[in-house]
Amino acid sequence: MRKTKTRQNLIGWLFVLPSLLAFALFMFLPIVLGFWYSLTDYTGLSKDYHFIGIQNYIDLFDDRYFKVSIRNNVIYAVLFSVLTMLFALFLATLLNRLVRFRKFFRTVFFLPYISSMVSVAIIWKMIFNANGGPLNTILQQLGIQDPPKWLASTEWALYAVIIVSVWKFCGYYMLIFLAGLQNIPDSLYESAALDGASSLQRYFRITLPMITPTIFLNLILVTISSFQVFDLINIMTQGGPGMSTNVLAFRIYYEGFQRSHMGYASAIAYFLFAIILVITLVQFAMQKYWVNYDD
């Protein structure tokens, strides 16, 4: 009996071993090496580097470009998270009530999410073109004589990127909301209607409390995503104009691959990891006050 159990365990480990090796090689090892490099002056161009302790982390708070990146990232994270959650919930609520053409509209709203990030960025870059772009042409025809310069403006560039981000990712979170809405028993709405509750009362007293676990899940996902934005900014603005769209992920890329400060870039990466970790832990700690897991 013991030999059979040992043999089964060995077979199980043999099946798991390729995944463990892949995880160790492509995940765990880079994480460890990244932390080590954050404690050095490693440039990525030479094997000759020195251990400097936490100097890179100290230098972060003396770097005004890093501080600007934090500010931009916080603005992006707040606006992107709030707008994406609101629009996703709004669309999911509409689709949940829609009987005909639900599958069609669900596909239409989800299509931007599965579209190529490069294609999306290039198309929206043309739409936001300040000189003859479709968006500004429409605004001028509506009577706005001096429309925003969008990606060419330090005031509007970050908000333009947020608009594109919400448009692209909204459909994904909408599907998660829709799954949560469709799991609410119809009997709850029927009972509330018999008691004289209005549609608005049923939505705020039944729908929202019942989907708080779904809201919490989406909140975790959208918050993490908001601090990892890179592709859109790299293609649409490259952190400009000026420093108006320079966020932490782009700062990591710029310091590491443009300036060959791999050690410093690694320190920024671990600072970003700490931010995401702290926010996620706070969200998990606060969920007991508003998330309803009762069936």
Q: How many angstroms separate the CA atoms of 232 and 169, rounded?
A: 12
Which residue is listed with tokens 């936001």?
128
Return d(Cα 224, Cα 215) in angstroms, integer. Answer: 14
Q: CA torsion 57→282→247→273, rounded to 10°? A: 50
What whole-number percentage of the chain has pLDDT above 70?
Answer: 99
- At 65 the pLDDT is 94
Binned at pLDDT 50, 70 and 90, residue 170 comes out as very high
Q: According to the model, what pLDDT value does residue 26 have? A: 86
Q: Can you tell me the mean pLDDT for 212-219? A: 96
> Is it true that the peptide bond before 241 is cis, omega within 30 degrees of 0?
yes
User: Domains along the chain?
Assistant: 39-289 (1.10.3720.10)
Q: What is the DSSP string of 165-182?
A: HHHHHHHHHHHHHHHHHH
Average pLDDT over every residue of 9-30: 86
Averaged pLDDT of the chain? 92
Tokens of 72: 């931009």
User: SS3 for 147?
Assistant: coil
Task: Give residue 78's pLDDT.
Answer: 97
Is pLDDT at 8 greater than 90 in this prediction? no
Rounded to whole angstroms, the Cα distance separating 288 from 293 reads 9
pLDDT digits (tens, 9 = 90+) for 245-294: 999 999 999 999 999 999 999 999 999 999 999 999 999 999 999 998 87
Q: What is the pLDDT of residue 295?
A: 57
pLDDT band at 102; cut points 50, 70, 90 = confident
Task: Compute the average pLDDT of residues 113-122.
Answer: 95
Residue type for position 167: W
